[in-house]
Amino acid sequence: MPKGISLDFQFTSPIDRVWTAMTDPITLSKWMYPNDFKAVVGHKFQFRAEPSQWWDGIVNCEVLEIEEPNKLKYSWISGGEMTVVTWTMEQADDGTTRAHLEQWGFEGEQSFQGASWGWPRMVDQLQAALAQL
């Protein structure tokens, strides 16, 4: 299950505000979903979105790593898929925050460690292959 995405964001606020938005359950619920998050490694929590016809709306998570205010890692289990979400943040000189997000499958995490070429290359191949369809 080598699924993975990797995205970069820039938030126009200082890093401590971004950290609060990611770790305070009330603020977190305003941009994600209602949740019972706690910034404690090993804490199990849920995001509860509105259920729909094709999704029960529940994401089961466990806090895997906390490094205030730079790193937040939790498992993300939903719809029978197990992945890991990792946020890494960096304060920029101009008062903004650079954030990097990764979401990977569990197996991907193990087999792809130290071999970061694997996924981007696969994505290139995918795009090339899909262009032929």
Partner 1 sequence: MDTIWCLLLLILREKVLNRLRQRDVYEAIADPTRRELIHLLAEEEESPLHYLTGHFSTGRTAVSKHLAVLKEAELVMDRKVGRERRYRLNPVPLKQVQDWLSHYENFWKQKAAALNRLVEEEN
Q: CB-wise, 21 or 39, nearer to partner 1?
A: 21
- Applying CB under 8 A, the span of 37-45, 65-73, 114-122 interacting with partner 1 comes to 114-122
Nearer Cβ to partner 1 (47/63): 47
The smaller minimum CB distance to partner 1, of residues 42 and 132, is found at 132
Q: Is 116 in the site for partner 1 (CB under 8 A)?
A: no
Site residues (CB under 8 A) for partner 1, limited to 12-41: 12-13, 17-18, 21-22, 27, 30-32
Stretch that binds partner 1, among 37-45, 64-72, 104-112 (CB under 8 A): 104-112
- What secondary structure, in 3-state letters, does the chain show? CCCEEEEEEEECCCHHHHHHHHHCHHHHHHHCCCECCCCCCCCEEEEECCCECCECCEEEEEEEEEECCCEEEEEEEECCEEEEEEEEEEECCCCCEEEEEEEEEHHHHHHHCCCCCHHHHHHHHHHHHHHCC
